[in-house]
C-alpha cells in the first residue's frame, strides 16, 4: 500500500470541479484508491463518495492506493490535485 497525507488549501475546500478531475485520474488505475477524512474512508473513483466527505479548506486528508499500479496512481493523483491548486 502506498499513501500520502495532503493539506487542502483551496479556500472552498475539495469542491466539485477539482474533485471530478481527481476522480477521473483515479479511475484510470487498476488499484484500489481511497481518500480518508475524519475517520471516514471512501472510494476515490466515486464522485459521490468524495463529495460526501465534505472536505473543507485547511483539512488534512490521506490518499491511499493498493494494487499493482499504486506507485504511479498516488503520484498522478497528487500531481493532479497540485495542478488544480487544491493542495500545496
For residue range 10-55, list pLDDT tens digits in order: 999 999 999 999 999 999 999 999 999 999 999 999 999 999 999 9
Task: Give dist(CA 28, CA 85) in Å, integer.
Answer: 21
**pTM for the complete prediction?**
0.94
Say which of 2, 9, 13, 15 is annotated catalytic. Answer: 15
Summarize the confidence of residues 54-60 as an average pLDDT.
98
Domain 2-83 in CATH 3.40.50.2000: no
Cell numbers found for residue 76: 498522478
Summarize the confidence of residues 66-87 as an average pLDDT.
97
In the predicted structure, residue 7 carries a pLDDT above the cut 90: yes
Q: Whole-angstrom distance between the N-terminal and C-terminal Cα of the chain?
A: 23
To the query of whether residue 15 is one of the catalytic residues in this protein, the response is: yes
Amino acid at each position: 500500500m502506498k499513501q500520502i497525507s495532503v493539506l487542502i488549501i483551496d479556500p472552498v475546500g475539495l469542491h466539485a470541479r477539482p474533485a471530478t478531475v481527481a476522480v477521473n485520474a483515479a479511475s484510470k488505475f487498476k488499484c484500489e484508491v481511497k481518500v480518508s477524512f475524519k475517520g471516514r474512508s471512501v472510494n476515490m473513483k466515486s464522485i459521490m463518495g468524495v463529495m460526501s466527505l465534505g472536505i473543507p479548506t485547511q483539512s488534512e486528508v490521506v490518499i491511499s492506493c493498493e494494487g499493482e499500479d499504486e506507485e504511479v496512481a498516488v503520484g498522478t493523483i497528487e500531481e493532479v490535485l497540485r495542478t488544480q491548486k487544491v493542495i500545496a
